[in-house]
Amino acid sequence: MVKAKKGRPKNPPKFKEILNSLIPSADIFEPHELEMFNGLMALYLNDFDESQLSANDMDDIVSIAMNRVLEIRLLKTVKGDANKQIDASITIERLRKQTSILKENLATRRKDRIDPKKYGGLSIVDLAVAFDKDQKDTMFAEDTAFEAEEALLLTSDLLVGNKNDQDASIFDKEE
């Protein structure tokens, strides 16, 4: 008998495949809204490593994108009608509040997944020292280049002055 493994599978299915097969987004949204929803989903998923996403993360991302599309739908519906705008503003405010909570949940779960030991050896002092060293190296390279250019100019035939001009006369010798 094979023992069942606990935890997440090593190669979970791609989130986009799950989204397309389980959520009837084409039935929920109009074609232009579906395009917006899919674009928002792609945009939000770019912020995450899909192999690290949990089911709760996926649900929150879908809800955030759906809330944005529904908010835009409401705004288009009430355009030009002041009475409808007042009614819709309450719903839009609720959608925005819910979206804010969902974003906070995603951020909290993301922070929980970060291994503090992974970044333990790096501090702001290390970054400042590295920046100063890079800046010092850059300035030293510029200085060396300027000195080489100066040495080249000093040996150039262009720096003879005006002693060879026809109208030049020597005035510091007594005649």
Q: Whole-prediction pTM value?
A: 0.56
Residues 41-51 pLDDT 10s: 888 888 877 77
Is 90 exceeded by the pLDDT of residue 171?
no
Closest CA to 67 of 88, 37, 89: 37
The residue whose two tokens read 């995450």 is 48
Asked whether the beta carbons of 71 and 42 are under 8 A apart, the reply is no
SS3 (DSSP) at 93: helix
Give the pLDDT score at 173: 60
In this prediction, residue 115 carries a pLDDT of 65
**What pLDDT digit, counting tens, does each position of 141-154 carry?**
999 999 999 888 88
Q: What is the mean pLDDT of residues 36-61?
A: 84
